[in-house]
Structure 1
Amino acid sequence: MLDISVSAKLKDLVPDFRAGVICYHHIVIADLPQIIAERLPLFYENIRLSLEDHPVSAVEGVKEWRGIFKKAGTDPSRYRPSQEALLRRIGKEGRLHTIHSAVDLNNFFSVQYSIPLGIYDLGHLEEPIRITVGTQEDQYEGLNGRIMNMENKMISADRSGAFGSPIVDSRRTCVTEQTTDALQIVYTRPSTPAEESRRMIKKIAGMFTQIHGGENEWKIIE
């Protein structure tokens, strides 16, 4: 299994931090299966309707992860947890843009469970990997096209530096249709009981593999 751990720095700031780590091997990324692609618009439309009377800021997973950001030193009103950004987009547009099966499914999990998730091409990572809090030296080109300064923000870093965050991930390690091995980080809610978190991680891994083929292995780190 991948050499990935949580730094003492992050644990000092967020003592109850916990994440699921899933490695996928021999996967095939393409378009989502038609049966899933046809159901997602209705799923997102129902969320949009629910947000008319229930603001994104009141969603339990969003509230909890905003609190985690504050503990880590991040202003959640300036840098939002990724699931909050997705929910706000759904509230405004009623949908999410499709990329390919891996990203689309990753976004679905994030919205469904109201937690951040990241997915990365294992071929572009070099162990060991640490989940920590960034310094002024940590920056990368984000998937949003911006150079992200990751000081005082939760990051994942390998030997080459920071590559991911529950805010936005980097272009360096993004998954594409050429990706065959991937790492998925599931940022669970600390309030969720450990056994429930394990069931969720197993369910996410199983559904991802069912769609993309290949094998998975997973563990909880804290």
Structure 2
Amino acid sequence: MFEIKISQEIKDACPVFAGVAVYAKVRNTPFSEGLWTEIEAFTEELTTNSRIEDIKLQPVIAATREAYKRCGKDPGRYRPSSEALRRRLLRGIPLYRIDTLVDLINLVSLRTGHSIGGFDADKIVGNYLELGIGKAAEPFEGIGRGVLNIEGLPVYRDAVGGIGTPTSDHERTKMDIETTHILALINGYNGKDGLKEAAEMTQELLAKYAEGTEFEVCFYE
């Protein structure tokens, strides 16, 4: 498991921040029918019981949006991934089918409201990560987004540079069909509430749909 540090600038901007890391050995697949049955059930529940204007009121999403403002980013222009996923569904647009690991992380994010970074652990450089705030002109290639302006966004960095923000993760450390070790970072900008449950959900889904074993879980703040 990687050591994860929280920078002073994040502590100043979001004093209640807490996170949990889930590491596991996995086998990725292009598609899991059982997982997509769960995703479709959640989609039905969300679209039946929620309105698009309610999304930003969900407590975890609201706290993440507030953290963006405190770090210097407009959450209306750069949405946290959990908010963006819910908005997509409520606009009647189906989720992309990427692969089992990515789809699984998206489901946990949708259910909990936490923005979750899902990384190929073997692509991370060094033995620790630090959560800081993005700098002006800091290079960052978002997955499927090209160059992303991460100034003012919370960002995890390894020994090389940024690997993940609550809006998008980096191409360099993204999961793919060859991924055999996952690191999922669950971000609690509202504090510790719900982190244990989100970590347990992640482990259960990884065991069920990605042959997850050798789990390690680490809470940090």
1:48 counterpart residue number: 47
Aligned to 2:136, the other structure's residue is in SS state coil
2:172 counterpart residue number: 172
Give the 3 Å change call, closer, same or farther, for CA 67–209 of structure 1 in structure 2: same
Give the 3 Å change call, closer, same or farther, for CA 38–201 of structure 1 in structure 2: closer
Equivalent of residue 198 in structure 2, options 193, 197, 200: 200
Aligned-pair CA distance for 1:42: 3.0
- Residues 101-156 of structure 1: CA distance to partner in whole angstroms, max 9, x if unpaired? 10101000001001101101112111221111111242211113320121111001
Instruction: Using structure 2 for the length normalisation, give the TM-score.
Output: 0.91
Partner amino acid for 2:64? Answer: W
2:8 counterpart residue number: 8
Aligned to 1:206, the other structure's residue is in SS state helix
Aligned to 1:10, the other structure's residue is in SS state helix
- Residues 63-83 of structure 1: CA distance to partner in whole angstroms, max 9, x if unpaired? 221112112221111111111
- Residues 138-197 of structure 1: CA distance to partner in whole angstroms, max 9, x if unpaired? 22111133201211110011111111100111111110010111211101242554xx52
2:214 counterpart residue number: 215
Give the 3 Å change call, closer, same or farther, for CA 129–53 of structure 1 in structure 2: closer
Q: Which moved more, 1:206-215 or 1:139-148?
A: 206-215
Question: Does the 8 Å CA contact 1:45/1:94 hold for their aligned counterparts?
Answer: no
Aligned to 1:198, the other structure's residue is in SS state helix
Aligned to 1:156, the other structure's residue is in SS state strand
Give the 3 Å change call, closer, same or farther, for CA 7–35 of structure 1 in structure 2: same
Partner amino acid for 1:197? Answer: L
Q: Does 1:69 align with 2:65?
A: no
Give the 3 Å change call, closer, same or farther, for CA 76–55 of structure 1 in structure 2: same
1:98 counterpart residue number: 97
Number of residue equivalences: 219
2-structure distance, mates of 1:3, 1:55? 36
Aligned to 2:172, the other structure's residue is in SS state coil
1-structure distance, mates of 2:199, 2:8? 24
1-structure distance, mates of 2:129, 2:115? 18
Q: Does 1:30 align with 2:7?
A: no
Give the 3 Å change call, closer, same or farther, for CA 135–177 of structure 1 in structure 2: same
1:112 counterpart residue number: 111
2-structure distance, mates of 1:90, 1:61? 18
- Residues 18-47 of structure 1: CA distance to partner in whole angstroms, max 9, x if unpaired? 11111112x100044323323422321221
Partner amino acid for 2:107? Answer: F
1:80 counterpart residue number: 79
Aligned-pair CA distance for 1:88: 0.7
Give the 3 Å change call, closer, same or farther, for CA 15–58 of structure 1 in structure 2: closer
Partner amino acid for 2:198? Answer: M
5+ residue gaps, structure 2: none
Tell me the percent identity.
Answer: 23
Aligned to 1:80, the other structure's residue is in SS state coil
1-structure distance, mates of 2:153, 2:75? 10
Question: Does the 8 Å CA contact 2:186/2:198 hold for their aligned counterparts?
Answer: no
Aligned to 1:204, the other structure's residue is in SS state helix
2-structure distance, mates of 1:93, 1:167? 21
Aligned-pair CA distance for 1:200: 3.0
